[in-house]
Amino acid sequence: MEEQDIEKLEQEREEYLNGWKRAKADLINYKKEEGERMKSMVEYSERRLLMKIFPVLDSLERAAKLIPKDEQENQIYKGFLQIVSQWKEFLKKEGVNEIEAVGKQFDPELHEAVGEADSSNGEESGMVAEELEKGYIKNNTLLRPARVKIIK
């Protein structure tokens, strides 16, 4: 073989090797991007499902508050309260935590002010007086702000 032929072959080999390296890098990047996209889709689907569960849990908790203290030993009410507890435990296992609101300083990133209340015990202005709807957070991501009344 002549020297020109060898150089030409080496040049072709380099081109093919570089092309293979680029294709390999593209595949690795594609896999990474696809993994992130799938993770994002799963998180979005979880959030959508949870947003549909929260109003049901709100209704269950409101109903639980209406049970008279002297009736809470009734088997039907006990069963109902157990269901509420199971829903809360399910959310906790899924990494969903309730946002603490009452008695805390109003935080616009976690709370949504829907009303004002007068200070009854000398609490300072801007404190959360009442929680109308629980707020939820998962993995430092706000799912739903707590709807609250704040002290004016």
pLDDT value at position 93? 95
pTM over 0.85: no
Domain of residue 125, residue span: 95-152
Number of domains in the chain: 1
pLDDT value at position 3? 84
Q: Reduced to 3 states, what is the DSSP secondary structure of residue 97?
A: strand
pLDDT greater than 90 at residue 54: yes
pLDDT-based confidence at 14, cuts 50/70/90?
very high
Per-residue pLDDT, averaged over 71-75, amounts to 85
Per-residue pLDDT, averaged over 74-88, amounts to 92
Please check whether residue 81 lies inside any domain of the structure.
no
Comparison of pLDDT for 123 and 40, the residue scoring more: 40
Task: For residues 108 and 123, give the distance between their C-alpha atoms in angstroms, rounded to a whole number.
Answer: 19
pLDDT value at position 74? 87
Please check whether residue 128 lies inside any domain of the structure.
yes
Comparison of pLDDT for 122 and 133, the residue scoring more: 133
Please check whether residue 57 lies inside any domain of the structure.
no
- What is residue 105's DSSP assignment? B
The closest of 131, 138, 82, 93 to 111, measured between CA atoms, is 131
pLDDT tens sequence across 103-124: 899 999 999 999 988 877 667 8
pLDDT greater than 80 at residue 12: yes
Rounded to the nearest angstrom, the gap between the alpha carbon of residue 81 and the centroid of all alpha carbons in its chain is 25
Percentage of the chain lying above the pLDDT 70 cut = 99
Q: Reduced to 3 states, what is the DSSP secondary structure of residue 52?
A: helix
Please check whether residue 132 lies inside any domain of the structure.
yes
Gyration radius of the chain over CA positions: 29
Per-residue pLDDT, averaged over 125-144, amounts to 92
User: What's the length of the chain?
Assistant: 152
Q: Residue 147's domain is classified under what CATH number?
A: 2.30.22.10
